[in-house]
């Protein structure tokens, strides 16, 4: 059986309705990105980024909404900031001391396609029976948005069967292959 | 400073030349996917998938090429197989006992855009000075391939500034928000 035949990257299904909840009011338990990362990898850093691209900025909000310990959150925020994916800005609430909030940098936004691709997979394979948890639409035309593979000459919806992979100039031989 | 202004998803740069090395002959140390996952998450599962989509099938080849312990590799292969991302098939070399090899399923191929998006980010931000380690081109036209965000009505190269995110029908309120 050749399992490559069904590799078309499909757009997510349309959702029928959208309740107007703020992001912080939504239970993230059934988030498809989270479920996908439960399968394919350590998840905290990408879940923090997921929240950050959805507008979460403050430590306590990350902690509560993502659902993680102070220690792990502090560690991951430090690494994300050191990597230039998040940047800090001071803020001060009336009567309180100055604190830091976290914002996605231009470099951090470049991981948006990774998050969307994880969401797309999660929507298809770990979705909620009720439909999408978040729907993302093109603001101008209202059509649902998806991640696709395209080439520089404008051909879209490419699958792995449409491409040729070759070593580039940075490909070097293994120094000490075992055989 | 609004850091959202520079969020264009750009195609990777063209590489000038490509040495004809097989995948197993290449040192994966400078793989941009690996470097990206060193920053944003636990990496072994996606690195196994990276190798699998590049044609690696056998336990010893994964172990040697990805560079991981038997125990971690066994655990991750078991999880990837149980999740339906890889499937096993028996093979037997002359004079040896039957063993299992691992192949990417149709479901597993649906994570290809995740791997490409990680590669795209890594190529831009953790690339080798020599250029690309792997170049991926559209076979029909030869143009380099990239991951892009598009809508169902055919508008491409969308950024996060072009979309509207709304809760879908599976968005439920947090059961017990702390305030």
pLDDT for A176: 55
Question: In sequence order, which residues have a C-beta less than 8 Å from that of residue A176 and are 6 or more positions away?
Answer: none
Binary contact (A131, B46; C-beta < 8 A): no
Ramachandran class of B17: left when φ > 0, alpha when ψ lies in -120 to 50, beta otherwise: beta
Q: How many CB atoms lie within 10 A of CB A94?
A: 4
pLDDT for B176: 54
Residue B99 DSSP SS3: strand
Cβ density class A8-41: b for 16+ within 10 Å, e for less: ebebbeebeebeebebeebbbebbbbbbbbebbb
A43 backbone dihedrals φ, ψ, rounded to 5°: -115, -15
Q: Minimal Cα–Cα distance from A133 to chain B, Å?
A: 4
Residue B76 DSSP SS3: helix
* Residue-wise pLDDT tens digits, A74-117: 998 998 998 899 999 999 989 999 999 999 999 999 899 988 88
pLDDT for B113: 92
Name which of B10, B11, B14 is nearest B135 in CA terms: B14
pLDDT for A133: 83
Q: Closest CB to B136: pick one of A18, A148, A165.
A: A165
What is the mean pLDDT of the segment spanning B40-47? 69
pLDDT for A49: 87
Residue ranges in chain A modelled with pLDDT below 50: 1-28, 31-41, 177, 179
In terms of Cβ atoms closer than 10 Å to its own Cβ (0-12, 13-18, 19+), residue A152 is: middle
Domain B24-162 bears CATH identifier 1.10.10.10? yes
pLDDT for B163: 95
Residue B84 DSSP SS3: coil
Question: In sequence order, which residues have a C-beta less than 8 Å from that of residue B142 and are 6 or more positions away?
Answer: none
Q: Which residues of A touch B136 (CB under 8 A)?
A: 163-166
Asked if A143 and B44 count as a contact pair (C-beta separation under 8 A), the reply is: no
Asked if B115 and B145 count as a contact pair (C-beta separation under 8 A), the reply is: no
Contact of A89 with chain B, judged by CB distance below 8 Å, is answered with no
Give the confidence band of B175 by pLDDT, cuts at 50, 70, 90: low
ipTM: 0.77
* Residue-wise pLDDT tens digits, B99-112: 999 999 999 998 99
A132 backbone dihedrals φ, ψ, rounded to 5°: -75, 145
Does B43 score more than 90 pLDDT? no
Binary contact (A171, B53; C-beta < 8 A): no
Class of domain A24-129: mainly alpha
């Amino acid at each position: 059986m050749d399992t490559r035949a069904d590799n078309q990257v499909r757009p997510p299904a349309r959702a029928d309705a959208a309740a107007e909840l703020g992001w912080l009011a939504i239970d993230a338990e059934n988030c498809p990105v989270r479920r996908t990362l439960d399968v394919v990898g350590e998840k905290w850093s990408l879940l923090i980024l997921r929240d950050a691209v959805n507008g979460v900025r403050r430590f306590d909000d990350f902690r509560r909404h993502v659902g993680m310990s102070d220690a792990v959150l502090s560690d991951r925020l430090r690494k994300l900031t050191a990597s230039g994916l998040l940047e800090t800005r001071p803020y001060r609430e009336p009567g309180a001391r100055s604190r830091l909030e976290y914002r996605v940098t231009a470099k951090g936004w470049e991981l948006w396609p990774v998050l969307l691709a994880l969401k797309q997979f999660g929507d298809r394979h770990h979705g909620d029976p009720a439909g999408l948890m978040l729907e993302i639409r093109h603001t101008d035309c209202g059509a649902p948005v998806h991640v696709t593979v395209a080439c520089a000459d404008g051909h879209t919806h490419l699958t792995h069967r449409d491409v040729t992979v070759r070593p580039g100039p940075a490909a070097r031989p293994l120094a000490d292959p075992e055989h």
